[in-house]
Amino acid sequence: MKAIVVRAPGGPDALVAEEIPPPALRRNDVRIRVAACGVCFHDVVTRNGTLRRGVAMPLIPGHEVAGIVESVGPDVTGFRPGDRVAAAQRRHICGHCRFCRGGRETSCREQEFLGDAGLNGGYAELVCVEEDNLVTVPEGVALQDAAIVACAIGTELNAVRDVGRLREGERALITGAGGGLGIHGVQLAHLAGAEVVAVTGSAAKRAALLDAGADHVVVAAHGSDFSAAVREVSGGEGVDVAIDNVGSHVFEATRRSLAEGARWVLVGQLSGDFVRFNPAQLFLRDIALLSARSTSRAQLADALRLVARGRVRPAIAARLSLDQAAEAHRMMERAAPVGRILLCPEAA
């Protein structure tokens, strides 16, 4: 099969197209012919060596996968060849620990994040995923749209609904709002009935953010303090919930944007930089610092239903072939796209 392989950390040119054997089918595996794989900044920091935990090279990147079941292992009971499926970002979970049994399989200690280690990731024609990590794609949802639902929509659903518990009438801040995560966070915060403040580094993305449901768009240069602008549009009070898709570069600006008693949900970290802060800056204002990691299978199913009902629109910025993987990563590093880039193995 054709796949994009990274054999050592490096720049975008480390993504090399190769012909390799298909991934071996284990007893609980479902082998999927990939229709599309989303390109996430997680893939960038895996490829360039910033992310090291759980990463083992050589590897095939990619965890945002949807496609058609090609074959199944002997112990698989829930899927059969021809089914349309989307993956919940992982290849394996144990299925019996307290996290898996409690619907929090994103914290399973045995989890294998798809595309982080070995020659089995979504930047390929075929990928293997255990059936516990798959959801059937509803009729009427295109596979290319379904590919990005687990990460770009499901993770934001986790952050907005389940961790941030955003309520109608509250104010929400979405950082990195023009990116693949942020544009869907804006939609979900709007759907929850919040007043949405979207922060982006590009004025060119303003119209798309307003169309996605933002009430206010704050354009701020990379690393700049946008908190004064956020407080201005919020009547001086700040926001009740912050969904931070960027991390260190906006940490202080986000903190300064928070209202008394706010919930601050960390979702993304685009660099290896550390931050320093005084804990009293949080607990004296009753601010909760939280995190949302990945998407459970139940959250993926919920997100797919939202897409099927037209309540959330998957934002696809570009559809590229596997051979254009390096260009996709360059686009990500330039923060160019509004929404997600797709790699489609059958694209011309």
| Cross-strand pairs, 38 | 64, 342
Pull the structure tokens for residue 319: 């559809």
Q: How many CB atoms lie within 10 A of CB 177?
A: 32
* Domain 165-291, CATH among 2.60.120.200, 1.10.10.10, 3.90.180.10, 2.60.210.10: 3.90.180.10
- Count CB neighbours of 22 within 10 A: 17
| Whether the Cβ atoms of residue 266 and residue 292 lie closer than 8 Å to each other | yes
| 2-151+295-343: CATH number | 3.90.180.10
Q: How far apart are CA 7 and CA 57, in angstroms?
A: 6
Q: Are 315 and 10 in contact (CB under 8 A)?
A: no
Give the Cα separation of 291 and 183 in Å (integer).
18
Residue with tokens 């923060």: 335
Numbered ranges of CATH 3.90.180.10 in the chain = 2-151+295-343, 165-291
Return the DSSP state at 335.
Answer: T
How confident is the model at residue 347, as a pLDDT?
Answer: 64
**With 0-12 CB in 10 A as exposed, 13-18 as middle and 19+ as buried, what is 274?**
exposed
What residues have CB less than 8 Å from 289, skipping those under 6 apart? 264, 266, 282
Q: What whole-number distance in Å separates Cα of residue 299 and Cα of residue 93?
A: 16
Q: Do the bridges between strand 239-244 and strand 258-266 make them parallel or antiparallel, or are there none, so unpaired?
A: parallel
Torsion of CA 185, 186, 187, 192, to 10 degrees: 90
Q: Over the range 297-319, which residues count as b (16 or more CB within 10 Å of their CB) and which as e?
A: bebbbbbbebbbeeebbbbbbbe
pTM over 0.75: yes
The H or E element that residue 325 is part of is helix 325-333
Query: 254: number of CA atoms within 13 Å, CB side?
Result: 31
* DSSP per-residue letters across 232-267: HHTTTS-EEEEEESS-GGGHHHHHHTEEEEEEEEE-
Condensed to tens digits (0 to 9), the pLDDT of residues 135-155 reads 999 999 999 999 999 999 999
Residues of the chain where predicted confidence (pLDDT) is lower than 50: 348
- Per DSSP, the three-state class of 239 is strand
Could you identify the residue written with the tokens 């307290």?
98
pLDDT of res. 124 = 98
